[in-house]
Chains A and B, each alone.
Chain A
Amino acid sequence: MKNAPLVFVTVLLAAGCAGAPPDDPLEPYNRSMFSFNEKLDNAVTKPAAKAYVAVAPSPLRTYVSNFFGNLQDPWIALNNLLQGKPANALNDFMRFVFNSTLGIGGLLDIASEAKLPKHDEDFGQTLGVWGVKEGPFLVLPFFGPRTLRDAAALPLDASAETPWTLPYRNPVVHDEWGRYGLSGVKLLNERARLLGLERTLDEGTLDKYRYARDFYLQQRRFKVLDGNVPVEYEDFDSSEDASGTSHEFGGKQ
């Protein structure tokens, strides 16, 4: 037990978690795509999200978040199952059942109040749990930061989270414009939740791209390991060497 986290720390150090610049072979392309996405956001998505916030009051936005969140739960359940976590999968499935019925089609998240917490899983994480390597960091047009692995999982993840777009005779949303509309509201709602974040990036960093990249990579690794990531803190004020004075926390239980 004592040695396993140490191995992890070494791996993470090597992976660039604590300082060494992570491998970013596509950096020039990534940087230009990053700034393309930023311009697109400034021109279209951000103003639209602001308008959405101005039109839709906070309780309504919570219903919208709950509604789309509920439609993700079966996919989260399946991924928990694929990752060998049947108890979590059952939790997610129960969430979907409760929220879809008693929660009025998912508008209310009564499951969370009933101590069935929401999980965060997707097929990219499942691939990670199965041992598929991340591959290089990649900024996709429109979708933003991914690893190659997450980008490969994206078609599955995206269509599973927007079941109304699947190419079958949809029993609820017949109308093509209705489908676009749903996808549009989902996008606006997600962007609205992140309003203000771009200001933090602008004001709080010297190199926006680098900060965003490292942030993305670190939180993905954290998610794949469900938070069981030991953290190491070096002491650079001590005269002894770093390995002798560093302190490490194990992951969460």
Chain B
Amino acid sequence: MTMTRKLFTRCLLTLVVFFVPAAGFSADGVQSPDEQVRNVTNEVLAIVRGDKSIQAGDSGKVLALVDEKVLPHFNFRRMTSLAVGPNWRSASPEQQERLIAAFRTLLVRTYSSALTKYRDQTIEVKPLRTNPGEKMVRVNTEVRQDGVQPIAIDYALESDGQGWKVFDVTVAGVSLVTNYRSSFTNEINAKGIDGLIASLEAKNKSLETGQGGK
């Protein structure tokens, strides 16, 4: 509860100082996007830091953690449509659902393993400059590690009225979502939307068996 109180105090202070309710909670009680990114990042990293089996590479445990703490903050429908590109419009609702499921599995499997590599990097979430009423924002973060230039990781978030959901992640200027578009488009041009679905599902399946055998 002290956390909430701290946030509340900060919000009040911000209100008083800047006249803009942007830093803590907005008037309807929804967390601001940068606070949200900061809270989720801190919470997840605290768990990873305190969990020896995650640090040793226990992929089942990492997936469970990501599933519970991270995924609820992502909009996979939006991400998948951006990765697929204009062809998304010609996909049937069933095809769209299968694309979303397959792309989600691919992304989660690929990037959650990065958490097992986390050691002593620090992540700074930059304060957000935004106008109230904005429906889309970009939260900039910086991953710092000794001896290396900091890496910029930016999150694009969109509000659906109830909360903010991430729909793109940019690493050092490259979108991890739209960077798929050229290979997805290529696949669709050659084998159709069902062909892309089949390729993604086959990829996921091979990873599953590959991990089982390890």
Per the bound structure, the CA–CA distance linking A211 and B179 in Å amounts to: 7
* Contact (Cβ within 8 A) A204 B110: yes
From B16-24, B28-36, B183-191, the one touching the partner chain is B183-191
Interface assignment of A231: CB less than 8 Å from any CB of chain B: yes
A-chain residues with CB within 8 Å of residue B114 when the two chains form the complex = 196, 200
Q: Which of B5-13, B47-55, B170-178 lies at the interface? A: B170-178
In the complex, what residues of B have CB within 8 A of residue A229's CB?
173
The answer to whether A169 has its CB under 8 Å from any CB of chain B is no
**Binary per-residue interface labels of chain A (35-55) against chain B in the complex, 1 for a CB within 8 Å, 0 otherwise:** 000000000000000000000
The yes or no answer to A252 lying at the interface (CB within 8 A) is yes
- Residue contact A242 to B86, C-beta cutoff 8 Å: yes
Cβ B140 vs Cβ A210 within 8 A: no
Q: How far is the CB of B45 from the nearest CB of chain A, in Å?
A: 18
Decide yes or no: A215 and B81 within 8 Å by CB, A19-B86, A233-B168 being known contacts.
no
Shortest CB–CB separation between residue A2 and chain B, in angstroms? 15
In the assembled complex, which residues on chain A have CB atoms less than 8 Å from the CB atom of B113?
Answer: 196, 199-200
Q: Find out whether the CB atom of B172 lies under 8 angstroms from the CB atom of A219.
A: yes
Q: Are A234 and B173 in contact (CB under 8 A)?
A: no
Neighbouring A residues of B110 by C-beta, 8 Å: 200, 203-204
Interface 1/0 per residue, B77-118 and A, CB below 8 Å = 110011011101100000000000000001101110110010
Expressed in whole angstroms, the Cα–Cα distance for A64 and B183 within the complex equals 37
B89 engages A19 (CB within 8 Å): no
> B69 — which chain A residues lie within 8 A by C-beta?
none
* Given A62-B147, A219-B173, 6 further pairs, Cβ under 8 A: A19-B178, A69-B148, A119-B149, A196-B114, A207-B187, A249-B138
Q: Is A165 an interface residue (CB 8 A)?
A: no
Q: Which residues of A contact B86 (CB under 8 A)?
A: 19, 234, 236, 242
Are A206 and B200 CB-contacts (below 8 A) given A233-B156, A236-B82?
Answer: yes
Q: How far is the CA of A200 from the CA of B110 in the complex (A)?
A: 6
Asked if A237 is an interface residue, CB under 8 A from chain B, the answer is yes
Decide yes or no whether B199 CB sits under 8 A from chain A. Answer: yes
Q: Which residues of A contact B78 (CB under 8 A)?
A: 237
User: Counting CB contacts under 8 A, is A218 at the interface?
Assistant: yes
Q: Which residues of B contact A118 (CB under 8 A)?
A: 149-150
Q: Inside 8 A of B77's CB, which chain A residues have their CB?
A: 237
A200 CA / B116 CA spacing, docked (Å) = 13
Q: For chain B, what secondary structure do more than half of its interface residues adopt (helix, strand, loop), or is it mixed?
A: helix
Looking at chain B, what size class is its interface with the partner chain?
35 or more
Task: Tell me whether A15 is interfacial, beta carbon within 8 Å.
Answer: no
**Residue pair A210, B186 in contact (C-beta under 8 Å):** yes
Q: Is B136 an interface residue (CB 8 A)?
A: yes
Return the contact of B147 from the options A65, A205, A206, A252 (Cβ within 8 A).
A65
A117 in the interface (beta carbon within 8 A): yes
Contact in complex: A233, B136 (CB < 8 Å): yes
Give the residues in chain A near B68, CB-CB below 8 Å. Answer: none
Asked if A223 lies at the interface with its beta carbon under 8 angstroms from chain B, I say yes
Q: CB < 8 Å: which of A61, A215, A235 contacts B179?
A: A215
User: Is B26 among interface residues, defined by CB-CB distance under 8 A?
Assistant: no
Is A211 touching B183 in the complex (CB atoms < 8 A)? yes
CA distance A52 to B71 in the complex (A): 36
* 12 contacting pairs across A/B (C-beta < 8 A): A19-B185, A58-B119, A62-B147, A69-B148, A204-B111, A210-B186, A211-B179, A214-B174, A236-B85, A236-B89, A249-B138, A249-B156
B160 within 8 A of A: no
Interface string of A210-252 (1 = CB under 8 A from B): 1100110011011100010101011111000010000101001
Q: Of B88, B182, B200, B207, which is within 8 A of A16 by CB? A: B182
Q: Is A85 an interface residue (CB 8 A)?
A: no
